[in-house]
Structure 1
Amino acid sequence: MAADTHAQSASTRRDRAVRAAARQGLLDTEPLVCLLDTAGIRASAGALTRAFADALPAGAPVLHAFAVKACPLVPVLRLLSSVGVGCEVASAGELALARAAGVAPEHTVLDSPAKTPAELREALALGIAVNADNGQELRRIDALVAAAPTRSPIGVRINPQTGAGAIDALSTATATSKFGVPLRDPGAREWLLRAYADRPWLTRLHTHSGSQGVPLPLIAEGVRELYALAEEINAAAGRRQVDTLDIGGGLPVNFSSDAETPTYAQYVAALRAAAPGLFSGAYGLVTEFGRSLTAKHGLVLARVEYTKATGGRPIALTHAGVQVATRTVYAPAAWPLRILPYDAKGLPKTGTPVPQDVAGPACFAGDLLATARELPELAPGDLVAVPDTGAYFFTAHHGYNSLPRPAVHGFTVDAAGAVRFAPVRPAQPLSAIVAEAGGANPDALL
């Protein structure tokens, strides 16, 4: 019931935000804007925090670190930090964003399968937690730690090799995944035991077995393997050398409705069933959720520029396409999105549903957000809203056709229903596109 109530209030906030965007002229100068529901992001962060707090003994250490790649916007990172959520970063750029948001080093985790010496050196100097991906990187860390002692917690990422989910490209725990030490490969477990025995400063273990398309039992199986290995390392050491388990994130998101399923409580229940000791308080925990914290709270809002019919099927030509929904355009079966129709005043559009395509502005035929979608027939000036796009969609802009990055606005709705917008990221000016394309050096190749 609580989840249903939240979904209803989220949809009400969304409708009010679309109407306010139309009334306040957000689409007057730009035909495409993106919106973030700050109350929704806060609610998801609260649900995550409560799910773990309810399962752990009082005072058990846990850090929830947001996967910055999901929504690399400084105001979003700042918002999450204000409610106790840190950052998981996987590049120098993401670390710079976390630092710009004021996220403390002790609330930051560095992951990446290809960390440079400079990236490692910076993280270790700041005291940021580091998860080594492989043996070569661990030897690089050996030299850095010997040269300059660090307070950074350091661990090793393992690949439990528990199998793929429904989307191969996102499955990180396959037999041949590029991530981590492959736990089931011959000799790998023995190598890990020696690595920890030789390095008393290795105090963490990390895995990331979840992602979109991966069912909860399979995610939990990977975490169970992590827990078992930690127990084995500690038994061999004769002490509690590994004191923290970084269990990653990857909770799938429901893109078919406003319901937020699966929930964090269901995720925790699956982990407790697979590895009960995980919640005993014997280990500190780190999570790295991204998509599940922000996806449901993002909205692409685009104006319908033209409509036409081809082969008897209506087509609505909009300004939202591959640049803001890259995965959907190139892999529509894996990443289907809903289309919500509104009229020019921002009111939900009604009428007899008609199969129609909703197309983007890019110059290739496949730039489609929906094909033969049953919607009230769209007309020029109408608005189409694309929900569930607050992670890996408009926050991961694709520069095809030199289409500019759209503006992003956060919004809040007060008790009286009034909507207030706050600028998160400005629309990219054409001058910036020219500058990024070498505009300062036009004669460089002559």
Structure 2
Amino acid sequence: MSALQCDVSLVLQKLIEEQLIGPDSAPTIGERNHDAPQLMAINYDLDAIDEAFHKLESSFPSYFQHRFAVKSCPLSFFLKKALHFGLGLECASLTEVQHALHLGCPGENIVFDSPCKTVYDIRFALQHDVLINADNFVELERISQAIMEMELIPEVTPLWAGGGSKGLPRIGLRINTLVGAGSVAMLSVSTTTSKFGIPLTAENRLKIISSFVKFPWLSALHAHVGSQGCDLSLLTQGAKTLVTLANEIDAAVQSNQVQVLNIGGGLSVNYANETVRPTYVDYASALRLKVPELFTGHRVVMTEFGRSLVAKTAWFCSVAEYVKNARSDLPTAIIHAGSDLFVRPCYRPDLFHHEIEVYSKEGKSTTTDRDMKIQNISGPLCFGGDVLARKRNMPTMNQGDYVVIRDVGSNTMSLFSRHCSRLAPIIYGYRKEKRSDEVAGSTKYQIKLLKERETPEQVYNFWT
């Protein structure tokens, strides 16, 4: 599930040798030919991606259904991969819903969770059989009105009655379980001040139950505690709260109306090294211990993993175009991406960290053959905060070296900024050609183009 350091060096060397990256590159794959050299790239380990999906599938029972969080990595190749492995897609905007449909994802395998759905958004989702999680009571009334106007319910029947009837509305309620914040407040959404969901106060608990009594097509509950920085105890506490509420609703309506429990995603990622922790097995075990009701098969359980599936499967590399003040106490390397691609690490380095490695112009690790030195790494953008690494102890960098940033598979391209009109980088994928008993350094790799580098014309069109 993690791109290994030994693979990074060998893949980088192959990219350089085949002139797919570097000052002398004029890469051509298929009919592609760009005059400007490729000086940076994002590189996905396709074997690690496959392993991540297999790990997810094998860690949970078959009645757990997984919906990949599109916002974490909207790249079409990855979404297609998720669909290939049987996942659905969780969407945070109408455009994400339309992207999912465009890629062939059936509407019934799409979850729509935006906190800002318009009437148009709601009607579109209903027309395409998308499961909508209403974010608040006003939205729920909008959904009810749309259902009546669109005459979607000839008979008042719960969504999953008789195993589910295609064409009936698929509606849930998003609940703020109020279990508190994790270590990263801005990524925690189960607090009293959160903009997401219906806070589970005593007053709202009664209104939620009344809503299920009023609308027999309501059949799902959704809760997402947060993402990076939320530990397993917080995630399981949120799931436990959701189960308790579902049982109260079913008791009130005297039927098994709550058929789907969506416990969200939020599994944190270890950015400190290659180790994957916590794992999906760790999370499943914690859920079994703390929320055994999820494992009876009585209800469908949905997840919305994003970052944990894809973050550690990719790395970024860039030529160090300059090393300024090289002989001073604090040299600064200038590379070809900064806060345009790494928004969070640049603006909040105290919260968002990536390991950074230095490779020679031939693509070889410099860890053992260069002196260590305190240095900065900055991006190309025109403001002083465009800094990726501040006073970090690294092998001494030279102009023309390659800077590698690890664990960039999620929340990197999806956060890309247009500031200074820089071009979004080319994206490659790679696989090992041989998989057994290789002598170190002899492994062969196959490089695949996943996404073209952005063109100046595409940037012009954005601003037009």
Q: TM-score range by the shorter chain?
A: over 0.9
Checking the alignment, whether the CA contact within 8 Å between 1:300 and 1:394 is kept in structure 2 is no
Query: How far 1:384 sits from its partner (Å)?
Result: 0.8
Amino acid aligned to 1:233: I
Checking the alignment, whether the CA contact within 8 Å between 1:74 and 1:101 is kept in structure 2 is yes
TM-score with structure 2 length normalisation? 0.89
Q: Secondary structure in 2 aligned to 1:313?
A: coil
Amino acid aligned to 1:26: L
Query: How far 1:101 sits from its partner (Å)?
Result: 2.1
Query: 1:421 & 1:117 partners in 2: Cα distance?
Result: 45
Describe the superposition over 1:140-161 as per-residue Cα deviations: whole angstroms up to 9, x where unpaired: 1101111221424211000001
User: Superposition pairs for residues 170-249 of structure 1, below 5 Å?
Assistant: 170-184=187-201, 186-249=202-265
Amino acid aligned to 1:16: L
Which of the numbers 31, 46, 50 marks the counterpart of 2:39? Answer: 31
Number of residue equivalences: 425
Q: Structure 2: any 5+ residue segments left out of the alignment?
A: 26-36, 153-166, 436-442
Checking the alignment, whether the CA contact within 8 Å between 2:147 and 2:169 is kept in structure 1 is no
Checking the alignment, whether the CA contact within 8 Å between 1:42 and 1:80 is kept in structure 2 is no
Query: 2:71 & 2:308 partners in 1: Cα distance?
Result: 12
User: Superposition pairs for residues 72-83 of structure 1, below 5 Å?
Assistant: 72-83=74-85
Q: Secondary structure in 1 aligned to 2:413?
A: coil
State whether structure 2 residue 362 is matched by structure 1 residue 345: yes
Deviates more, 1:272-281 or 1:232-241: 272-281
Query: What is the match of residue 326 of structure 1?
Result: 343
Query: What is the match of residue 356 of structure 1?
Result: 375
Amino acid aligned to 1:385: V
Q: Secondary structure in 2 aligned to 1:395?
A: helix
Which of the numbers 398, 407, 410 marks the counterpart of 1:388? Answer: 407
Amino acid aligned to 2:179: T
Query: 1:234 & 1:11 partners in 2: Cα distance?
Result: 51
Query: How far 1:419 sits from its partner (Å)?
Result: 1.9
Amino acid aligned to 1:45: F
- Provide closer, same or farther for how the CA distance between residues 14 and 201 of structure 1 changes in structure 2, counting only shifts above 3 A: same
Query: What is the match of residue 441 of structure 1?
Result: none
Checking the alignment, whether the CA contact within 8 Å between 1:234 and 1:242 is kept in structure 2 is yes
Query: 2:39 & 2:216 partners in 1: Cα distance?
Result: 57
Query: 1:307 & 1:319 partners in 2: Cα distance?
Result: 13
Query: How far 1:232 sits from its partner (Å)?
Result: 0.5
Amino acid aligned to 1:365: G
State whether structure 2 residue 36 is matched by structure 1 residue 19: no
State whether structure 2 residue 445 is matched by structure 1 residue 426: no
Checking the alignment, whether the CA contact within 8 Å between 2:376 and 2:390 is kept in structure 1 is yes
Query: What is the match of residue 163 of structure 2?
Result: none
Query: 1:345 & 1:151 partners in 2: Cα distance?
Result: 59
Q: Structure 1: any 5+ residue segments left out of the alignment?
A: 1-5, 54-59, 439-446
Q: Secondary structure in 1 aligned to 2:60?
A: helix
Amino acid aligned to 2:430: F
Query: 1:208 & 1:411 partners in 2: Cα distance?
Result: 33
Amino acid aligned to 1:294: V
Query: What is the match of residue 297 of structure 1?
Result: 313
Query: How far 1:229 sits from its partner (Å)?
Result: 0.2
Deviates more, 1:408-417 or 1:203-212: 408-417
Which of the numbers 105, 108, 120 marks the counterpart of 1:103? Answer: 105
Describe the superposition over 1:71-115 as per-residue Cα deviations: whole angstroms up to 9, x where unpaired: 011111001111111100111221122123222222211111011
Query: 1:13 & 1:96 partners in 2: Cα distance?
Result: 36
Amino acid aligned to 1:424: L
- Provide closer, same or farther for how the CA distance between residues 340 and 152 of structure 1 changes in structure 2, counting only shifts above 3 A: farther
Query: What is the match of residue 138 of structure 1?
Result: 140
Q: Secondary structure in 1 aligned to 2:415?
A: coil
Describe the superposition over 1:325-351 as per-residue Cα deviations: whole angstroms up to 9, x where unpaired: 100000001001110111111111231
